[in-house]
């Protein structure tokens, strides 16, 4: 996962997978979701991010319990 913020565009992008975007759907004004050619979610874009969220909200990133411990053990072990 990669989280990017473009200060000039005031856009926040959360990339779940490094793939080419095949389709973008606007689900709300200023909120777009991107899909790959197989229909899997690959990213989420928030436009005018600081109008909806403060910079402290945008950059307050937590990875607590991001992956279940059992799944990590299976993937690395």
Rounded CA gap, 35 and 24, in Å? 6
pTM for this predicted structure: 0.72
Domain that holds residue 71: 2-76
> Length of the chain, please?
77
Residue-level pLDDT, tens digit, the chain, 77 residues: 888 889 899 999 999 999 999 999 999 999 999 999 999 999 999 999 888 877 777 666 666 655 666 655 555 55
Domain count, the chain: 1
């Amino acid at each position: 996962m990669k989280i990017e913020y473009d200060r000039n565009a005031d856009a926040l992008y959360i990339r779940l997978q490094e793939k080419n975007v095949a389709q973008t759907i606007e689900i709300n004004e200023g909120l777009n979701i991107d899909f790959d050619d197989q229909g899997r979610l690959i990213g989420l874009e928030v436009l005018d991010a600081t109008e909806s969220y403060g910079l402290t909200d945008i950059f307050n990133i937590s990875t607590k319990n991001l992956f279940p411990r059992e799944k990590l053990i299976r993937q690395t072990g």
